[in-house]
Amino acid sequence: MDTTIRLKIKKEVDTPTARKILKLKGSIISNSFTDLIHYDDADEINYLHYFTIDILKKQEVIEYLNSFIKKEGLSNEIHIIENKKAIID
C-alpha cells in the first residue's frame, strides 16, 4: 500500500537555499524513495511538493527528511505535511 508525503516549500528563496532544496529533491530520488516528485501551488507564498512511497518506508522517509532539513538549515523554508497538518519534532 502507498502513502503520500507532502512538503510545503516557500516559493521565494535565495540561490543557496534553492540549491539545497534541489539537493533534497535529488536525494529523495537517488535514495529510491520515489521516482517522481510532483508540485502545485499551495498558496501565494508556498509550493506543495508531493510524492508517493510504500507505507512501510514512511517513518524512514520522514526521519530522513527531518534530518536533511535540520542539517541544511531549511526549517523555515520546508515543512513536512501529513494529513494536512505539519509534522513538528
Q: What is the pLDDT of residues 58-88, one digit of tens each?
A: 999 999 999 999 999 999 999 999 755 445 4
pLDDT at position 69 is: 97
Structure confidence by residue, pLDDT tens digits, 7-45: 999 999 999 999 999 999 999 999 999 999 999 999 999
Q: How many domains does the chain have?
A: 1
C-alpha closest to that of 64 among 34, 84, 19: 34
pTM of the model: 0.86
Joined together, the cell numbers standing for residue 36 give 517522481
* Domain of residue 37, residue span: 2-86
pLDDT at position 1 is: 82
DSSP 33-88: S-S--EEEE-SSSEEEEEEEEEGGGHHHHHHHHHHHHHHTT-TTTEEEEETTEE--
Residue 2's alpha-carbon distances to 25, 34, 55, in angstroms, are: 19, 11, 5
Check which CATH number belongs to the domain holding 24 and give it.
Answer: 3.30.70
Q: Identify the H or E element spanning 14.
A: none
